[in-house]
Amino acid sequence: MTDSALDLEPQTGVIARLADGVRDDQLTDGTPCPQYAVRNLLGHLLGLSVAFRDAARKDLGPTTDTPPDAAVPDIGPGWREELAKVLAELAEAWRDPAAWTGETRAGSVPLTGAEAGVVAVNELVIHGWDLARATGQPYAPEPAALQLSYGMLLAAADDPSRGGGIFGPVVPVPDEAPLLDRAVGLSGRDPRWQASAD
């Protein structure tokens, strides 16, 4: 899926700043993921960061072998510090060239190291958009991460299993739309989604 490793730190930094901007009174608000409130989305970001950190390290076990839909994720009282710490560890783990080689797993799915790295980047880019939209924050993903995410989503657009897997049906977006909007549409989300005003 990729011939070269990508530094995840710029995109994990974007996520950390978004998470830092979440107010406590927003934790129960809805998100573009219909089954998740903001607190569940943050819990998912925490869990996937741990899973892909361990996938990079080839430290396979419960964190890499549990399907993402096994339970609705949530956060505990120290989530801000915990998420910041795990995001930094995630970026550091993928700085090791060995992370991008060999075989690993994430979400119980066997992947090559390169595939896992691309999936991790895509998760950070798309869920960053989810979090920004749900909490009314501006969002500018790291450009190289966005390009990698878009390429992965475009390649998966015609997958016959869509709608029953990790992506919903593609939401049509004009060809001239910004790259982020096109990636969001390919992920099965409507780029026009807005948080409810109440």
Distance of CA 187 to the CA centre of its chain: 11
What pLDDT is recorded for position 139? 98
CB distance 135 to 29 below 8 Å: yes
What pLDDT is recorded for position 164? 42
- Please list the rounded mean pLDDT of every run of 10 residues in the chain (198 residues): 75 97 97 94 97 97 88 93 98 97 95 97 97 97 97 83 62 95 96 83
The structure's pTM equals: 0.93
What pLDDT is recorded for position 198? 57
CB distance 87 to 51 below 8 Å: no
Is the torsion defined by CA of 83, 151, 32, 142 positive or negative? positive
Sequence-distant (6+) residues with CB within 8 A of 188 are 162, 163, 167, 168, 169, 170, 171
Question: How far is CA 126 from each of CA 68, 103, 142, 144, 160, rounded to the nearest angstrom?
Answer: 15, 24, 12, 14, 21
